[in-house]
Structure 1
């Protein structure tokens, strides 16, 4: 049953959350959540849905794990059916599906490579065939490959990072737009690195800066259609991307440099995605909301 999976207990105060993690590394991105120690916390039972997304349909890329899983489960608690898109992480995706169904909603699993425009179009069509509508598009896929020098960023790595992190924004939006009605919401996952930069992530940070500009520009284009476009810029969050991109020694101190002296957990971002997906943010578009443990950024 779903409750065996990691969740936030009433007794677990923020200051009691793990502030450091055991050294660990996975050799393939975007990584597998079920192999992590400790498992990321993606649900807070104290959060009770109130029908903010009742009978809405969302697509969440990278919805199998991490931030995408937390957003997916949060959407289900608010009454939405969700299609989640993932690259290869079948076991993680099945766990997310069980969590969605535990909250009484439907979950469609779609496996494939969003670097291919034809597959992005297929994602939208399969969602429509299954649920009959589309109201929320969350674009959350991403990879990162730390390098100490720009000289070590190969043409292959640069191409992979941009084709994964930014190209699907265009592919999915173009495929979804004919079916999005006024009141629909497009949400992208940016990053604190778009604002503060990152010594080890020059190419990744560049794609996240592109996502910020994409969000602002698209919001202007779609405002007259009544479609809102926003983004979330997380700080360090405990997800499979971290253990699959950094070495084990780096993981031991991950997130300790935030003002709150810890990394965030995925469940701490879910309400932000719910807010941007729901009518609560009906007068919000072209914005980036920062969930980063207290770091001050220029917006």
Structure 2
């Protein structure tokens, strides 16, 4: 796909929806698949869990993994229609997929997700901690205890819960990939709690990579910039949606499909000497970290 095939800021103007956002209600919907690319079996025979795999970046990663021969477990919370659509697309590529509707804020539930995956597919090779929530607030004092706790539970506690439960089943060559954010490195004045969780994700990634290095389990992260996903129209007002992505050097928002190959690379044998690292996919913003 070429840059001209992606949406311009004008094409996404005027969209808002209630939380939680649904991909099925977005117009135009995010681009999550490169139909011209059929895959190279780089993940053949492996099994991956992808949180938030029903939509946005998670959907693009789920489809890309399936096209590479990977069994995919999609963990999602609310959007049954989005999850079933992703399942349908994966099956159109002859992929194997398991949908698990779950609240990953709960440590016991996260343990069950891992157990269900092992029982269904017989193993686990890749864990993609991707699900997140955000709630913009102009003032720090407007961030309630409930918002703070929910954001941290979804964005970072779940990574601890899921990875802790997964490690006993991971073997040499297994991979953990976390989704951080450009906000972890430059902050965001209206997303203080969200940015803080993404900073925690970055520290978690670096520390865990060192911890699991002796087991030959690699841990890396992707730090997206402004990507057109359901999170955007469901959490930003019309004015912010209208200019979303225009402040990047490429002058447009990114599409989920533009991140998918990054996750495939980090999950594959093409990145066997990479651990504890961040790959920035942000439209050209220079970030130190």
Q: State the TM-score bracket (shorter-chain normalisation).
A: over 0.9
Alpha-carbon distance in 2 for matches of 1:181, 1:49: 25
Q: TM-score, normalization: structure 2?
A: 0.98
Q: CA deviation at 1:22?
A: 2.5
Aligned: 1:92 with 2:82: yes
Q: CA deviation at 1:102?
A: 1.1
Q: In the TM superposition, what are the counterparts of 1:118-129 in structure 2 within 5 Å?
A: 118-129=108-119
Residue of structure 2 in register with 1:28 after alignment: 19
Alpha-carbon distance in 2 for matches of 1:216, 1:139: 14
Instruction: Say which of 17, 38, 44 aligns to 2:6.
Output: 17
Instruction: Say which of 199, 222, 239 aligns to 1:249.
Output: 239
Please identify runs of 4+ aligned residues in structure 1 that moved more than 6 A: none
Q: In the TM superposition, what are the counterparts of 1:13-162 in structure 2 within 5 Å?
A: 13-20=2-9, 21-29=12-20, 31-162=21-152
Instruction: Say which of 242, 246, 261 aligns to 1:271.
Output: 261
Any idea what SS the aligned residue of 2:209 has?
A: helix
Residue of structure 2 in register with 1:216 after alignment: 206
Alpha-carbon distance in 2 for matches of 1:268, 1:251: 19
Q: CA deviation at 1:46?
A: 2.6
Q: TM-score, normalization: structure 1?
A: 0.94
Aligned: 1:192 with 2:163: no
Any idea what SS the aligned residue of 1:114 has?
A: coil
Aligned: 1:166 with 2:166: no
Contact 1:196 1:297 in 2 (8 A): yes
Instruction: Say which of 252, 260, 266 aligns to 1:262.
Output: 252
Alpha-carbon distance in 2 for matches of 1:263, 1:241: 13
Contact 1:56 1:135 in 2 (8 A): yes
Q: CA deviation at 1:171?
A: 0.2
Provide the alpha-carbon RMSD of the alignment. Answer: 0.9
Contact 1:146 1:246 in 2 (8 A): yes
Cα deviations across residues 202-254 of structure 1 (Å, max 9, x unaligned)? Answer: 11000000000000000000000010000000000000011111112211111
Structure 1, unpaired ranges of 5+:
1-9
Contact 1:232 1:273 in 2 (8 A): yes
Q: CA deviation at 1:16?
A: 4.3
Any idea what SS the aligned residue of 2:72 has?
A: strand
